[in-house]
Amino acid sequence: MRSIKANVVCMGVCLIFGLSMFFTDLMVDNGINKLLYIYRIIIASCVGYFLPEVYRSLKKVYLKTKLAKELYFLKKLFVICGSVKPVDFGKLMKSLIARSEHFKKDLVAIYEAHQKSSTDTEIFYQELKASAKDLEVKLFYEKLDMACNYDFDLSVKTIKDDFAREKRESIRKVKKKVEIINIVGVLGLFVALTVLVLYLLAPWIEMLEISGFGW
């Protein structure tokens, strides 16, 4: 409901601004194309209605990218700190908390759950993973669960394997983009050569038609 109100407000602002410009120009020059002006105002108002949606979509993409970068950094930090023996899970969590922004609340909760002997960490991690909306975040919490309750070295190894997998996927995507670019380039070259040949043959075809040898 709130988003619809924002859309209507933006549309109203565009409509009022457009009408004020219309009447101002009408007083200055009575010979303006009124119908075209009204069409422009209607189009601007329709565009204004969707501006909040565009803003929310861009903001969502920006936040998703920022969260992904922070999560990647935390996973890297986890691997680096976890590779130095001996490993203290509490100190590791403090390092993650100190360098986190968006995940700080959950990481503090994990640290406190680890510190309290009365907390059932298995249930705690189940609830934490269930509350995570993003799959990558859920998997990261699963690695922390593994490090806390089961096998720390295995959790570090799985994150390293994830990095290797992501690198392979990134290489495959780059190769696929290069292949698409090459295909587009070849097709573009073929079209350009075809146009050039037709352009060069056009005078000869005209001469043949004039001479009576046309098809």
What does residue 30 show for φ and ψ, rounded to 5 degrees? -75, -10
**CA separation for the pair 24, 86 (Å, rounded):** 76
> Is the alpha carbon torsion for 170, 172, 176, 178 positive or negative?
positive
**Are the beta carbons of 124 and 113 closer than 8 angstroms?**
yes
* Terminal C-alpha separation, the chain: 68
**Are the beta carbons of 160 and 79 closer than 8 angstroms?**
yes
The answer to whether the pTM exceeds 0.85 is no
**CA separation for the pair 81, 215 (Å, rounded):** 80
Cα 34 to the chain's mean position, in Å?
Answer: 42
Q: What is the pLDDT along the chain (215 residues), one digit of tens a residue?
A: 555 666 666 666 666 666 666 556 556 566 555 666 666 767 766 766 667 777 788 888 888 888 889 999 999 988 888 887 787 888 888 888 998 888 899 899 888 888 876 667 778 888 888 888 888 888 888 888 888 888 888 888 888 888 888 888 888 888 888 889 889 888 888 888 888 887 777 777 677 666 655 44
